[in-house]
Chains A and B, each alone.
Chain A
Amino acid sequence: MSITRRIFLRNGALAVVGTTALPGFLTRAALGAADPGARSKRLVVIFQRGAADGLNIVVPHAEPSYYAMRPTINIPRKSVLDLDGFFGLHPAMASFEPLWKQKHLAIVHAAGSPDPTRSHFDAQDFMESGTPGVKVTDDGWLNRALRELPGSSAGASAKDKSAFRAIALGPSLPRILSGKEPAVAVNNLNDFSVGGKNPNAAANANTFEAMYDHSVDTVLHGTGQETFDAVKSLKAADPAHYTPAANAHYPKGRFGDSLKQLAQLIKANLGVQVAFADIGGWDHHVNEGSTQGQIANVLGDFSQSISAFWTDLGDLGEDTVVVTMSEFGRTARENGNRGTDHGHANVMFVLGGPVKGGKVYGRWPGLDQSHLYEGRDLAVTTDFRLVLSEVVERYLGNKDLKTVFPGFENQPGQFLKLLA
C-alpha cells in the first residue's frame, strides 16, 4: 500500500468533516480499495441466534424417521422444495431456490461444534471465539482471521486500513469481531455521526475526537479512534447514494435493514473485508410450526433478506462469500409442546461468487436412534471450523489457521472443497 494513498485518505477524509464535500468520484478513488487482489474479497458471517432447527430448514425428506419423530411439525414431502432427492428446503425459503440452481448456494448439513453444551450462551460464545470448550479465549475468530490479511496491522502499516474493514451491523460489537484488529459496530448509517444537523456539529465532533484521541483510558481511546475514522470515511463516501437495486426486496425488520445497510457500505466502496450480522427468534420450544407458523416466518425473513442482499450486490457478489451459522441444532424429535428443545448438529449455508453451489456437503449421519447424538440429536459430522477454515484460507487467503482456530487440527486436505 503506497504511503501517498494513505496520506491522501487521511487528509482527504479529514478535510471533509464540517466543510465542503469532495466530489464523489474523488473520495471513492481515495477511499476505495486500490489493490485489485485480496483487498476486494469479503466475507459476511450471519449468525442465527437462538439455535435454529436445521432439520426443518434443510429437510431430510427421504428419511422416514424424520417424519416419525416429528408427527406434528414436520415439513410434508409435498411442500418441501426438493434439492437433490434427499434434502429439500423449507417452503418459506423459496427465494433460495434460484441461488441454488445458479450454483451460488452450497449447504453443509450436520455441521456444528464438537462441544456438547446445550447452553445458548456458551455455544454462541464458542462459535464466536472459534475455540469450542475453551472459555478463556478473549477475541473472536473473525477478528483473528483479519490479522494476516493485507491491510492488517501485521501485514501493513497500522494506519493504512479502512475504518470499515471489519464491521458488525447492530448496536454492539459482537464477540466474533472483538480483538486486536479495529472493528466498528454500525447500528444505523443515518445516525453515524456526531452532532447531526446542529450548526456546532463539526466543532463538537472535533472536540470529542481530540478528547478520545488523547484519553489515557485505553478501552475508550481505541474505540474512539476507530469511531472517528469511520465517521469520516462514511461522510466522504456518502452511502446514502447507494439505494437498493430495483429488484432487491428487503423484508421489513432489523435483519433486512442490517443487510441493506451492509450492501450500501460495500457498494460505497468503503473497503469492507469482513462483516457480521445476526438474526434472532429461533428458539422454538413451543408451537414451532411447520410450513406455516413461527419457523416459517423467521425463515422467510432470513432467506428473503439474504437473497435481496445478493441481488442488491449484483456483480460485487462475485467477490463476496456469505456463511451462516447457529449455535446448535434442535432435538430430532419434537417435544411435548409441538416445539423442539436444544440439540446438537445444524445446517450451514455458504453463498457467493466462488462457491461451488447446488450441492449438500458433509456426511449425513442419519436419524436412526443408534446414530443420534446422545440418543436425541443429529450428530455433528463436520466441525463448523472446517467450513470456516476453508473460507479463511482458500478465499480470504489467510494461511495462518493455527492462529484463527487454535487447537483445531486442521488438515487442508480435509476441506469440503466447496470453493472453486
Chain B
Amino acid sequence: MGMPSPGRRLLVTSVLLIAAALTTQFALGRKKDKLPGTASTPMDEHKRAVHALNRLTFGPRPGEVDRVTRMGVDKWIELQLHPDKIDNSALDARLAPFRTLRMGTKEIVENFPNDQVIKQIADGKASLPRDPTRRAVYEAQLQRYEDKQERKKEEEKDEAVKSTTQSSAAASDVPAEPGQSTDPDQIRRREERRLANLKTQELLDLPPDERMKEILRLSPEEQKSLAATTRGARADALLEGMNPKQKETVMSLNNPEQVVVNELTQAKLLRAIDSERQLDEVMTDFWFNHFNVFINKGADRYLLTSYERDAIRPHVLGKFEDLLVATAKSPAMLFYLDNWLSVGPDSEIALGIPPHGRYGPGPYGRPPRLRTKGKQASGLNENYGRELMELHTLSVNGGYSQKDVTEVAKVFTGWTLQQPRKGGDFHFEPRMHEPGDKMVMGHRIKQSGEREGLEVLHLLAHNPKTAHFISQKLAMRFVSDDPPPALVDRMTQTFLKKDGDIREVLRTLFKSPEFWSPSAYRAKVKTPLEFVVSAVRASGAEVDDTRALAVTLNNMGMILYGMQPPTGYSMKAETWVNSSALLGRMNFALGLAAGKVKGVKVDPASLANGPAVTRSDAAGSNAAGSEKESSADPQQALATLENSLLSGDISKQTHDTISKQLEDPKISQRKLDDPKRPPNLAAITGLILGSPEFQRR
C-alpha cells in the first residue's frame, strides 16, 4: 500500500468529504508503515518532512509539514543549518520585555542585587544606589536581609536552649515554619499580611504609572510585605499595564534573583516554542546539556544568562574547540566546577610569597579573594580537570588516568574569576598557577601560564576519542538511542577532517542513509522538554507565559537549568519512560487541550478544521462554514486531529480506542436527542497528545 501523497491528503481533509468508515481504513493503512520489522519502504517526501521536523525542531506546528514539503526537505535542512538566514523578528519582539537577556553579568548583579551585594551594604562596605527605582529594590532586600539576620540570632538563642532541629538546606534557605499558631512571629506575620492586603487593594485601583510611584513611596518594610503577600492573580493585577522595567522592579522587591532566573527559563521555553531557527535552539539545548551547569549553585544563578548567550549560543554550529574554550573560560563553568578556586601547590599564593610590584593593582586590579573563611585556599581542585576529560571531551573510557586528571588540574590553576558574586569575569592569575611543565596523556605541556590551558583544550578538542564521543552523542540525539556505529564512524571522520566543524558533522548526519532509514522514523522517545514543547507546538497554542510549562517540567523531573550533576540530562528512552512520567504526560496533554495550563491558549476547533486553516490561500471565508461541518462529526474530527497533531501517524489500536470513546456521551458531548452538538474536541486533542504515538518523535 502506498502513503497518500501530501497533496492528495490535503485535498481529502480540506474538502471534507471523507466518511468515518474511510477514515478508519486510512488509519489502518497508515499503521502498517509503523509496525516494527515491516518498516522497510523508503520515506516519501511528505514522510521525510515529518521526520526532519521531528528531529531538527521541537516538533512540527500545524501546517508546517506541508510548508517544508513544498520548500523541499533538503533545502529546508540547509536553511536550518544557517540560522542567520532565517528571520526571527517575531521571537525577538516577544523576548524584548526580558531585559536581563541583554544585560552583562555586572549589570544584572547591579540591577538585581544578590545577598552578597546586600550584605556589603548592610556591613557598611558599599552604599545604596541613587536611582530611586533601584534604591527601592535594594532597600527591600536590605530589609529582608536584616530580618533574616535577626531571625538567625533568635534561632541561635533557641538552639542554645534545646539543641535540636537542623533545617534542611536541600530546597531553600527559608527557615522551617514553626508549627504552633500561638507563635508571636506568626501572629505578627499574619497582621502584616492583613495590612498589606489592604494596601494592595488601594494600589490596584491606580493606573500603572501612579501605582508604580506609590509602590516606590512605600517603606521598605511595606514593600517587602507587599511583594511577599501578592501572588497569583493579585500579582498579575499589580503588574497589569506596567512596562517591562516596572514589572521587573516590582518583582524584584520580593526576590531579585528570581527575576533573572525567571526571564532565563521563560526565554528558553519561548524560544523552543516560537523560534523559526529551530535547529539552532535544539543545538543550544544540546550543547548546554553537554556542558551542563546547575543554576542553583550560588553565583550560577545570574551567570547562566551570559553563559548560554555568550559561551554556548555563538558556537552551537561552529567549531568544537571554540565552544570548548568558551565554556572553559566562562565564569559559569569556572564557578560550577570549582576551578576558580584551584591553586597550584607550588604557586606563589600557596607558598605565601607576597605579591611583587608587577602583580600589584595592575590591569586586573586585585587578585581574586582566595580566602575561604579566614584561611587562604592553597591547593588543587580536580573537579574541572576530571569532568573536562570525562564529560566534555574524551569520555570516560577516553584513555586518561588519575595522574592525567591531576596534571590537567595543575594546567588550569590560575584560570579564575574576580569576585564572581559581583559578576567578575574570567581572569588568569599567575600567582595561583602551578609552575613547571606538565605531562598530559603523554604530551609535554611546556610551562607557559594561561597558554598551557589553551594547549590542553586544543589537544582534547582534536583527539579522535573526543571526535567519536561527540559524534556518538549527536547521533543519539538525532537518530536513535543506539546509533549505527558506521554512521558514528563517518561523523567522526568528518569531525577530524573538518577541524571539529559541528555544522559539517551534522551535514554528514543529515545526509546519511541511517538518518533516513525507516527504522529511525519516530524511533526516539521524547524527553519531557521535547514532549511538552512539541505538544504546545502541535496544538498551535498561543503562549503568553511559560511558567506553568516550567512547573510541569519540574514535576516530570527535567527542571530547566536544574540538573545538579555535570552529566546533564539523559536523552535515552529508559530514563523518561516510567509510571510517574507517563501519568505526568497524559495529565499535561489533557490539561493543555482543555485550556487548563495557565498562560497557554489552545483552540482545538481551529485544529479540527484541519491543515486548511493554516494555508495562506485558505484564510478568511473558509472559517465559519467549514469549521462547523468538520467539527460536527466526531469521527471526522478525530481523523482531522490525527492528521494535524500526528501527521496521521497513529496506530489502528489508538485510533480505534479513541473512536470507541467518542461514542461515550461524556466525550462526544452529545445526547441522543441532540445529534448536532459538536464533539468534545479538547478531549480528543488531549487523548491524541497523551497517546503512545505522540511520545515519540
Contacts and interface: CB of A to CB of B under 8 A. Distances in A.
Interface of A: 49-50, 72, 92, 94, 117-122, 168, 170-173, 178, 184-188, 191-196, 198-200, 203-204, 206-208, 210-212, 214-217, 219-221, 223-224, 226-227, 230-231, 249, 251-256, 279-281, 283, 285-287, 294, 296-298, 300-301, 304, 335-339, 341-342, 374
B557 A337 contact: no
Contact of B377 (A168, A249, A337): A337
A267 B163 CA distance: 31
B160 interface: no
B317 interface: no
14 contacts: A120-B567, A191-B587, A198-B590, A208-B691, A211-B658, A216-B35, A219-B577, A220-B525, A223-B582, A249-B165, A255-B168, A286-B341, A335-B380, A341-B382
B582 A335 contact: no
B305 interface: no
Given A119-B396, A211-B654, A216-B651, A227 B579 contact: yes
Interface centre among A173, A211, A224 (most CB of B within 10 A): A211
A250 B580 CA distance: 23
Contact of A185 (B386, B581, B664, B683): B581
B379 A337 contact: yes
A196 B587 contact: yes
B578 A339 contact: no
Nearest to B661: A207
B350 interface: yes
A203 B587 contact: no
A195 B587 contact: yes
Nearest to A214: B653
Contacts of B372: 286-287, 337-338
Contacts of B586: 194-195, 204, 208
A118 B402 contact: yes
A131 to B, nearest CB: 16
Contacts of B350: 336
A420 B581 CA distance: 39
A255 B341 CA distance: 30
B557 A171 contact: yes
A178 B556 CA distance: 18
Contact of A336 (B341, B667, B690): B341
Given A119-B386, A255-B170, A186 B580 contact: yes
Contacts, number: 231
B692 A122 contact: no
A212 to B, nearest CB: 6
B402 A187 contact: no
A172 B564 contact: no
Given A204-B590, A286-B372, A297-B168, A191 B381 contact: no
B382 A120 contact: no
Nearest to B557: A171
A296 B375 CA distance: 20
Interface centre among A188, A198, A280 (most CB of B within 10 A): A198
Contacts of B264: none
Nearest to A195: B590
B580 A121 contact: no
Interface in B368-388: 372-373, 375, 377-383, 386
Contacts of A117: 396
A338 B375 CA distance: 9
B555 interface: yes
A390 to B, nearest CB: 29
B379 A281 contact: no
B414 interface: no
A257 B372 CA distance: 33
- The 8 A-B residue pairs with the shortest CB-CB distance in the complex, in nearest-first order: A336-B379, A171-B557, A300-B166, A301-B168, A214-B653, A253-B170, A173-B578, A297-B169
Given A281-B170, A341-B381, 13 more contacts: A171-B555, A184-B579, A187-B584, A198-B590, A211-B654, A219-B573, A224-B582, A251-B170, A252-B176, A298-B170, A300-B168, A301-B166, A304-B168
B338 A337 contact: yes
B27 to A, nearest CB: 13
B289 to A, nearest CB: 14
Nearest to A206: B661
B471 interface: no
B171 interface: yes
Given A191-B584, A342-B382, A253 B657 contact: no
Contacts of A173: 574, 577-579
A252 B557 CA distance: 19
A254 B579 contact: no
A336 B342 contact: yes
A215 B378 contact: no
B579 A230 contact: yes
Given A286-B338, A335-B381, A172 B169 contact: no
Contact of B692 (A186, A221, A286): A221
Contact of B690 (A50, A178, A208): A208
Contacts of A191: 555, 583-584, 587
B692 A172 contact: no
B343 A336 contact: yes
A44 to B, nearest CB: 18
B345 interface: yes
B141 interface: no
A336 B168 contact: no
A172 B581 contact: yes
Contacts of B338: 285-286, 337, 339
A302 B573 CA distance: 30
A299 B270 CA distance: 39
B576 interface: yes
B381 A338 contact: no
Contacts of B448: none
Given A193-B583, A252-B171, A337-B381, A215 B564 contact: no
A327 to B, nearest CB: 11
Contacts of A249: 165
A185 B580 contact: yes
Contacts of A226: 579
A342 B580 contact: no
B367 interface: no
Given A50-B565, A200-B667, A338-B372, A214 B555 contact: no
Contacts of A188: 555, 580
B377 A298 contact: no
B178 interface: no
Contact of B580 (A119, A184, A199): A184
A94 B165 CA distance: 10
Contacts of B485: none
Contacts of B590: 194-195, 198, 204
B578 A172 contact: yes
A196 B171 CA distance: 26
B166 A280 contact: no
Contacts of A298: 168-170
Contacts of B405: 118
B692 A215 contact: yes
B345 A336 contact: yes
A204 B661 CA distance: 8
A178 B583 contact: no
Nearest to B170: A253
Interface in B583-614: 583-584, 586-587, 590, 594
A194 B402 CA distance: 49
A215 B657 CA distance: 10
Contact of A215 (B176, B651, B660, B680): B651
A171 B658 CA distance: 28
A207 B658 contact: yes
B575 A216 contact: no
Contacts of A252: 167-168, 170-171, 176
Contacts of B556: 171
Contacts of A336: 341-343, 345, 350, 377-381
Nearest to A116: B402
B169 A301 contact: yes
A172 B556 CA distance: 8
B695 interface: yes
